Amino acid sequence: MFGGVGIYTGELFFALIADDTVYFKVDDQTRPEFERRGLGPFRPYGEQGEAMQYYQVSEDLLEDAETLRPWAEQAVEVARRARRRPSRKRSS
């Protein structure tokens, strides 16, 4: 779909790898910390394309498993919350 690799825990899609970059799933609660660090969203169709709800993981986090762990756990929780959210499908 996006030309990358999806990362799951069970049935929860919480991260992806594209062009040698790791991205974690974000929502309104977690996105500000990524933005504060100057990290951007995954844009599968180029810089002018739509941004997905996945943000780049910084290299310093990837180099330290203990520091990375809470970020990954947050991404899993974001995926869990998204799954529980009711669908916005319109009835015909």
Per-residue pLDDT of the chain (92 residues; tens, 9 = 90+): 567 899 999 999 999 999 999 999 999 999 999 999 999 999 988 888 889 999 999 999 999 999 999 999 999 999 999 988 765 554 44
- CATH code, domain carrying 55: 3.30.1460.30
Q: How high is the pLDDT of residue 29?
A: 96
Q: Based on the structure, what is the number of domains in the chain?
A: 1
Q: How high is the pLDDT of residue 2?
A: 60
**66, 69, 89: which is closest to 77 by C-alpha?**
69
Give the phi and the psi of residue 90 in degrees, each rounded to 5: -90, 145
**Looking at residue 24, what DSSP letter applies?**
E
* 26 within domain boundaries: yes
Q: How high is the pLDDT of residue 92?
A: 44
Q: Which domain holds residue 79?
A: 5-84
Q: Which two tokens stand for residue 69?
A: 């762990």
Q: How high is the pLDDT of residue 45?
A: 83
Distance in angstroms (rounded) separating the CA atoms of residues 35 and 83: 24
**29, 27, 31, 2: which is closest to 16 by C-alpha?**
2
Give the phi and the psi of residue 84 in degrees, each rounded to 5: -80, -20
